[in-house]
């Protein structure tokens, strides 16, 4: 007789922990050069946003207080137009408009840094405090040993 699996519970072995580091699918942002990776990441972030490039350009124009055209977005996202690099302040504005942690993490890929949600800041700070507390306790223990050794 064949047993049937319960349809109301998930398979415990298929559980995956939540992703801390937001990333695009690696194949979609792969490039031979760092400038190409920026272009691919910009393009992917705009695709994932769901708005048209015209709508994104309008939102970025409003955010920056200067006119940004769809053509500018196309140029910044094109690997073929290497002379059309996005200015830093415009990149920050675009990241803000797109709300794309993935884009930031792709730009930081060759560093030892990642972008995480601000809501995790208290947990990170707490962990850093615990580590500092552990170091201080060890220093106190070492001082106590030295003090007892002098008596």
Instruction: Please name which of 44, 8, 46, 52 lies closest in space to residue 27, comparing C-alpha atoms.
Output: 44
Q: Is the pLDDT of residue 11 over 70?
A: no
Note the pLDDT of residue 121. 93
Number of neighbours of residue 51 by Cβ within 10 angstroms: 13
Sign of CA pseudo-dihedral 87, 88, 89, 95? positive
Enter the tokens of residue 121.
């800041």
Q: Exposed, middle or buried by CB within 10 Å (0-12, 13-18, 19+), for 70?
A: middle
Q: Which pLDDT belongs to residue 60? A: 96
Closest to 79 in 3D by CA, of 49, 45, 37, 107: 37
pLDDT tens, 36-91? 888 999 999 999 999 999 999 999 999 999 999 999 999 999 988 877 788 899 99
Single pTM value for the model: 0.70
Number of other residues whose CB lies within 10 A of the CB of residue 141: 10
């Amino acid at each position: 007789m064949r047993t049937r699996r319960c349809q109301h519970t998930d398979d415990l072995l298929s559980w995956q922990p939540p992703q801390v580091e937001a990333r695009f699918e690696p194949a979609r942002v792969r490039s031979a050069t760092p400038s190409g990776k920026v272009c691919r990441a910009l393009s992917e972030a705009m695709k994932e946003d769901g708005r048209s490039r015209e709508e994104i350009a309008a939102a970025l124009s409003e955010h920056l207080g200067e006119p940004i055209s769809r053509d500018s977005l196309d140029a910044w996202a094109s690997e073929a137009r290497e002379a059309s690099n996005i200015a830093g302040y415009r990149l920050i504005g675009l990241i803000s408009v797109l709300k794309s942690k993935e884009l930031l993490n792709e730009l930081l890929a060759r560093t030892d840094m990642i972008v995480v949600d601000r809501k995790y800041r208290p947990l990170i700070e707490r962990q850093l405090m615990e580590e500092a507390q552990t170091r201080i306790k060890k220093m106190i223990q070492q001082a106590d040993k030295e003090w007892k050794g002098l008596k």
